[in-house]
Amino acid sequence: MRWISRHKKLMIVTMVTILLIIVMSVSYLNDYSTTDPEKKIGNIITLFQEPFVKAGNGLNKGISGIFRFKAVITENEKLKEEISILKNEIINLQLKRNELEELKQLEAALNYANVNQDVTFITGNVIAKDGTNWFNTFTINIGEDDGLTPNCIALNGDGLIGRVFEVGNNWSKIVAIVDDSHSVSFRITRDTKYIGVVDGDGQGSLHGYLMDPNADVLTGDEIITSGLGIFPEGIPIGTVEEVIKDENKLLKTVKVKPYVYFKNIDKVLVIKY
């Protein structure tokens, strides 16, 4: 009796198993027909089977979900790597395109110099600038070893930048035309007989005057180097923003916006004489 009481659960499971085997055998012999007693036994067996089946299905779903989750994580990591590679490729292509554009601009600048003069050209990169917001003075990575001397002319695809004022073995310093120590002689392209002089204001603009007080100068006129002084003739300088008639000096003064953007200069073309 003690053994029965201790193993009551085991006996119940055993009895249910025996009944299940009997029902399956009888069903097979009776061509799958079911009697009322068999139905009642089947109902009881179903009560025992259902929780186990649900638990098994849930376990299968849980395991499948874990594997799917791991697969998604792996796929996401792979996509992140591919995106990172593509971003680097885009950056490299952009840098190459910018480099190409700069070289094209410098190539265009070759047309500004007077080809009748015995001159050669060399490209330099900006490696330092002064402490202001504007490139009033800055340093490039070419110098005496490359044949540069003071007063060599610097320009880019937009127009005139300035001149070399100090030279080292492998570096040079350039003073820009917008520096307040600079003066440039110019002509008006619309009528080249009119000549004037512009000075830098140190803030990125140019101010000057025309020699002829009756000169026909208008807002929007383009001005270029006149060839008087150290700068070769024909290099674009900028456009006239404002014309002011000074009655006391009998001069027409002008404010000029340079073509070169002096807040951002990366490469320069230097004319060597």
Residue ranges in the chain whose pLDDT is less than 50: 28-32, 52-53, 55, 59, 95, 115-116
Q: How many CA atoms lie within 13 A of 8 on its CB side?
A: 4
pLDDT, residue 130, reads: 78
pLDDT, residue 153, reads: 93
pLDDT, residue 28, reads: 46
Q: What is the pTM of this model?
A: 0.61
pLDDT, residue 57, reads: 52
Helix (H) or strand (E) holding 254: strand 251-258
Q: Tell me if residue 206 falls in helix, strand or coil.
A: strand
- CA distance linking residue 154 with residue 162, whole number of Å: 5
pLDDT tens digits, 82-107: 776 666 566 555 545 555 566 556 66
pLDDT, residue 264, reads: 86
- CA distance linking residue 74 with residue 204, whole number of Å: 55
